[in-house]
Amino acid sequence: MILIDAIEACDDKSIRARMKVTPGGLFNLADGSLPAWVGIELMAQTVAAFAGIQAKRNGQPVELGFLLGTRKYESTVASLAANQQVEIKAACSLQDETGMGVFECTLTADPDVQMSARLNVYRPPNVSSYFEEPTP
């Protein structure tokens, strides 16, 4: 389930993506709008795209990561209107060798629609071990 439509720009510390609110999607309300809480998923997908682009640039495989938490989520609206163009930005404020990262994210749809959050993410060194079942 990919909700973002395109990556507009990406450098070593930040990324900018866009999407259009298309009625009839998995999370859309009856009027075609998207609830504001979906903004967190849009931000998380943008951070995931950033991690994938950075991995490719460094000759590494794209790996699975986890959204650990969201802090300071704020939204000026209850939903994003149908057919509205949305810009999502994420800037890495912390990333360490253990796979932990913090991203400052914003979502803008027009001057009156603003969302922001701080996302805490984790990319484990051996992600496949998280899906292995222990033997009895």
For tokens 């810009």, name the residue: 87
- What is the reported pLDDT for 12? 96
Q: Can you say whether the dihedral through the CA atoms of 114, 8, 13, 98 is positive or negative?
A: positive
d(CA 101, CA 112): 29
d(CA 15, CA 47): 8
pTM of the model: 0.91
Q: Is the pLDDT of residue 7 over 80?
A: yes
- What is the reported pLDDT for 127? 75
Average pLDDT over residues 49-77: 95
- Count other Cβ atoms within 10 Å, centred on residue 46: 28
Sorted by where each begins, the domain ranges of the chain are 6-130
CB 101 within 8 A of CB 94: yes
pLDDT per position as a tens digit, 71-118: 999 999 999 999 999 999 999 999 998 889 999 999 999 888 899 999
- For residue 14, give the 3-state DSSP assignment: strand
Q: Is the pLDDT of residue 16 over 90?
A: yes
In CATH, the number for domain 6-130 is 3.10.129.10
